[in-house]
Structure formats: structure tokens, C-alpha cells
Amino acid sequence: MLHYAVVFFVIALIAALFGFGGIAASAVGIAKILFFVFAVLAIASFLFGLLKKG
């Protein structure tokens, strides 16, 4: 999932470089959402791993 966040961020950078502001803004929004979902799932996985070992 982190891979997709990076891909959308790169798309946003390329779109901004060529002047497509709307596409860049939406790609950044998608990248932010994917990154935060990844972060929440990574933390949850880490915590459940700790609980399972204990």
C-alpha cells in the first residue's frame, strides 16, 4: 500500500510539473489517504503482534 502512495505522489509531482493543478491536487489527496491507511495498518499489525507474543 505504501508503494501505491508513492506512485500517486510521483504522479502528482509530474502533473504539477506540467501544469495540471487539478490532477496534481487529487493525486496528492489520494496519496495522503493511502499513506495514513498504511500507517494505521502498520501500527495495528505491530500492536497485534506484540499482544500475540505476550
Q: Which residue range is the domain that position 38 belongs to? A: 2-53
Predicted confidence at residue 8, as pLDDT, reads 87
Total count of domains within the chain: 1
Give residue 47's pLDDT band: very low, low, confident or very high (50, 70, 90): very high
Q: What is the tens place of the pLDDT at every residue in 12-22?
A: 999 999 999 89
Burial of 23 (0-12, 13-18, 19+ CB in 10 A): middle
Report CA Rg, the chain: 15
**pLDDT tens figures, 34-44:** 999 999 999 99
What value does the mean pLDDT take over residues 23-49?
Answer: 93
